[in-house]
Chain A
């Protein structure tokens, strides 16, 4: 191999070394930037993961830039010859021969390939790898950083509105399945929910829409609770009627009418066909009574008792069904109808145990006691005639005129003061204040001046 070839080889080695150096610098910077970007995305913008990994494809352009830069800074052949000359300790002969070839001097150059080969610069990929190790570890470690929980997903726009509308829709469906809603009412509610869905699709929930949602929830809850209350009242009325019939205790006409009305209301609220599913004879009787508009069974006591028992069973079933419906609706209506009765709303975490929050009638494990409650006849609330009221006239008339200073004890003359009832000395501080001796003479002189025309303070 001629010395020119060795110079070219040396030049290529230099160019490659320069490229490695530039590539290491650029790739190191790129890996640091990439790792930082991955880290930022994982911690700040999780939605961009794993798309951010596509940025890794920029390694190719970065390598290209490094190659172009190394080309621009590459050694010339002259410099390559000079460096190789120095390495061989040729004293400039190699440079000279590369410019002015001369066979007479060429043999003065080293003749062994080994010497030339040893003069070539050694490529050091390990050094490059060591240079890139830290950035690479950083980039890889950034890839293993756990993705932050996407909070943006939970607060996506209109998600709450859509969920609320869906819950309302489900609640309507449940109420419809329980035959609580009438057709027209159901259609109106569905229209409202559909309108709400339409509005929340393009715009967020505003406080007006929240009010609409709350109104719908309350309406559905009211319907459910009204149905529940009607059934409960009906069941209680049937039980009361049955009890009265069983013990042969005649009810007052008002009470009987009240109970019958409650039973009729409950029967009216029963789903269509519910009566036909009950016992054959009792069902027919009940349908008949319902058509008459009066609960006036004129059967024999035994039949009447039997019908009441069946009716009681029927209403109890309906109550249970409504309780199940209430449980299903609890989630849809935001917990408004959770519980077993009126105003028995519990919080999200309420489970009847103390300290879990929610609204109830007391500790879950405590026996509820409301004291001396009024019965259904309201016998404890009787009218009491109060005595007629009167106006207390003020005593501001002139009683008499005296020529001397009045001896007044206002504290004694003010019995009406509420405070004086408990504190007899109240209000006496001002009146009981003693005049100073030098003032006393002035006051006395004023009143004892002999001017009879001046008004006098009435004597006690």
Chain B
């Protein structure tokens, strides 16, 4: 797999037809990637029963090198999902249980005075954030100060302590969980922190059949032993392939219009957004939409992104970025409902079909 990087020369010299076609993933590459991803999904599916769409979204987000915030009631398998993922990917995995007395240094590490070669000096001891896969369990229980310690790590993939910057191992993924109940004594994540998460996925209760399968196959809730399905290197290659998935300009236009329509001040926004939304999604949301759509396309075995992929990932990308007015709560409008309305309202092709040609 080779990646053609845009250089100054490439910008000047016109690309030939062969060069262009080489940019598109070949069918073999796509099939190979799909097989690897299917292996990963099968492994996750054996642990998390009946949550296929959930685990697909998590994998898509990881391929886009994004971070996931899982929200759901206790016992739905959020933590188990992350643990299974770490087992299947063979990456360095750390888990932090967020509590109100957790300090930033407990996460990112702290300099400790040590005696080295007969002299005492401060030696940086990396915290649990130095891992490929970080599980931030019940992240809303820590103080904002501790939550903010993750900001730089998530965005820049590095931490700075006492003026000294320490890069994090790549790939670096944060999978956080939070509980929507028992909110007393918790600290809801600030908007800036929320925006760092590519996806916010609501983990919903499983069906009766799934529950029956869980009871039948699990003893004492122990998940099955998992082997590594994809090495870290293989997963990195898959993520690289995902970047090469083509995003047609019409789809990019659709993403742009979709994100613009989340802003209540925008002319193209539906009336509900204008009425209930306080703030819309940021450009980071548009980038996340494009990147995760690429991952979804690769998962679907396609060399390009289609409108369906965008519609698939849009709720998870936008749900935590759409800040609603107090009146929305009174009227029963949730971000999810508003996003459904947005997807219904914004046409995939900007210009409407001529009336005379409609069936």
By a beta-carbon cutoff of 8 Å, the part of chain A in contact with chain B is 13-14, 17-18, 20-21, 24, 73, 75-76, 78-79, 81-83, 85-86, 90-93, 95-96, 99-105, 108, 121-124, 127-128
Q: Could you tell me which residues of chain B, from 301 to 358, have a CB within 8 Å of some CB in chain A?
A: 302-309, 348-351, 353-357
Q: Which of B19-27, B56-64, B170-178 lies at the interface?
A: B19-27
Closest to A128 in B: B356
**Residues of chain B lying within 8 A (CB to CB) of residue A85:** 250, 306
- Mask, B286-297, CB within 8 Å of A = 1, is 000000000001
B306 near A105 with CB under 8 A, answer no
Give the interface centre of B253, B304, B349 by most chain A CB atoms within 10 Å: B304
Contact of A96 among B248, B350, B359 (CB under 8 A): B248
- The reply to whether A78 and B250 contact each other, CB–CB distance below 8 Å, is yes
* Of the residues B17, B300, B348, B356, contact of A124 by C-beta under 8 Å: B356
Shortest CB-to-CB span from B347 to chain A, Å, is: 10
Residues in A neighbouring B305, C-beta threshold 8 A = 92
**B300 cross-chain contacts in A, Cβ below 8 A:** 91
- The 5 sampled A-B contact pairs (Cβ below 8 Å) are A100-B20, A100-B23, A101-B21, A124-B357, A128-B356
The listed residue (A17, A76, A102) touching B354 by CB distance below 8 A is: A17
Does the CB pair A99–B21 fall under 8 Å? no
The answer to whether B302 touches A123, judged by C-beta atoms less than 8 angstroms apart, is no
Chain A residues near B27: list those with CB within 8 A: 104-105, 108
Q: Is the CB of B20 within 8 A of A14?
A: no
Is B246's CB within 8 Å of the partner chain A?
yes
B249 at the interface (CB under 8 A from A): yes
Known contacts A81-B250, A100-B23, A100-B24; A92 and B356 CB within 8 A of each other:
no
Q: Is B302 touching A17 in the complex (CB atoms < 8 A)? A: no
By the criterion CB–CB under 8 Å, are A123 and B357 in contact? yes
Known A-B contacts A79-B350, A96-B303, A128-B356; A101 and B20 likewise in contact (beta carbons under 8 Å): yes
| Chain A residues whose CB sits within 8 angstroms of the CB of B248 once the complex forms | 78, 81-82, 92, 95-96, 99
The interface residues of chain A lying within 8 Å CB-to-CB of B309 are: 92
A95 touches B357 (CB 8 A): no
B350 / chain A contacts, CB cutoff of 8 Å: 79
Given contacts A99-B249, A102-B21, A105-B24, contact A82 B349 (CB under 8 A): yes
Residues of chain A within 8 A (CB-CB) of B348 are 82, 86
Closest to B293 in A: A92
Contact in complex: B26, A17 (CB < 8 Å): no
Please pick, from B23, B250, B302, the residue contacting A93 in the complex, using a CB distance under 8 A.
Answer: B302
Closest 10 CB pairs of A and B: A92-B306, A95-B248, A96-B304, A82-B250, A17-B357, A121-B357, A17-B354, A91-B306, A21-B356, A102-B21
A225 → B minimal CB distance (Å): 82
10 new A-B pairs (CB below 8 Å) besides A86-B349, A95-B249, A121-B354?
A: A78-B249, A79-B351, A91-B308, A92-B307, A93-B306, A95-B248, A100-B24, A102-B24, A105-B27, A124-B357
- In the complex, which of the residues B302, B308, B351, B359 contacts A75, with contact meaning CB atoms closer than 8 Å? B351
* Cα–Cα, bound, A102→B308 (Å): 22
| Alpha-carbon gap, A454 to B303, bound state (A) | 150
Q: Which of B21, B246, B353 meets A83, CB within 8 Å?
A: B353
Chain A residues, Cβ within 8 Å of B253: 78
**Distance (Å) between the CB of B311 and the closest chain A CB?**
12
Contact present for A91 and B302 (CB under 8 Å): yes
By beta carbon, the residue of chain B nearest A92 is: B306
Rounded to whole Å, the gap between the CB of A371 and the closest CB of chain B is 94
Task: Determine if A79 and B349 form an interchain contact, defined as CB atoms under 8 angstroms apart.
Answer: yes
Cα–Cα distance between A458 and B351 once the two chains are bound (Å): 126
Residue B251 is within 8 A (CB to CB) of chain A in the complex:
yes
B251 / chain A contacts, CB cutoff of 8 Å: 82, 92, 95
Taking CB as reference atom, which chain B residue is nearest A122?
A: B357
The 0/1 profile, CB within 8 Å of A marked 1, for residues 20-59 of chain B is 1101101100000000000000000000000000000000
Q: A75-B351, A82-B348, A83-B349 are in contact. Are A103 and B21 (CB under 8 A)?
A: yes
Q: Which of A93, A102, A127 contacts B356 (CB 8 A)?
A: A127
Q: What are the residues of chain A within 8 A of B26 when measuring CB–CB?
A: 104
Task: Given A13-B357, A20-B356, A21-B356, check contact A96 B349 (CB 8 Å).
Answer: no
A95 to B297, CA, bound (A): 14
Minimum distance in angstroms from B301 CB to a CB of chain A: 10
B24 touching A17, Cβ below 8 Å: no
Contact B17 A101 (CB under 8 A): yes
**A108 to B155 CA separation, bound complex (whole angstroms):** 39
In chain B, what residue has the closest Cβ to A99?
A: B248
Contacts of A124 in B (CB 8 A): 356-357
